[in-house]
Amino acid sequence: MGILDFLKRRPEPTATVARERLRIIVAQERSSRGAPDYLPMMRNELLEVIKKYVHVDIEAININLERDSGHEILELSVTLPDGKKKPDAGDAATAS
């Protein structure tokens, strides 16, 4: 690094970006590892049901399967949008 380097603009360190992206994807893939095959399908069906009442994206539905000694916990969380409004009849029909 020379003296003139002070004049150059420093970009964001890309290693930090890589680390954060990996943290998220690895955690996500670990949680679905060894989980039953029906989980993604169940997630889609749940989305269809929820959509009848609230407008949510598939990303808003989080399914987590946790194994403890002896029992399993299926955790389902849905992030609701700010303005919770019922879709009109037309939307409900296409969702069904």
Partner 1 sequence: MTAEIIVVTSGKGGVGKTTTSASLATGLAMAGKKVAVIDFDVGLRNLDLIMGCERRVVYDFVNVVHGEATLKQSLIKDKRYENLYVLAASQTRDKDALTQEGVEKVLDSLSEDGFDYVICDSPAGIEKGAHLAMYFADKAVVVVNPEVSSVRDSDRILGLLASKTRRAERGEGQVTQHLLLTRYNPARVAIGEMLSVTDVEDILGIKVVGVIPESENVLTASNNGIPVIVDTASPAGQAYSDTVARILGEERPLRFIDVPKKGFLQRVFGG
Residues that bind partner 1 in the complex, under the rule CB under 8 A: 1-5, 13-16, 18-19, 21-23, 25-26, 29-30, 33-34
CB of 22 to partner 1, least distance (A): 5
CB of 36 to partner 1, least distance (A): 14
Q: Positive or negative CA dihedral for 63, 95, 79, 54?
A: negative
Residue 34 carries which DSSP code? T
Residue closer to partner 1, measured from CB, 7 or 89: 7
List C-alpha distances in Å: 56 to 26, 49, 92. Answer: 25, 11, 13
In the block, which residue shows the tokens 């299926």?
74
CB of 17 to partner 1, least distance (A): 9
Residue closer to partner 1, measured from CB, 27 or 89: 27
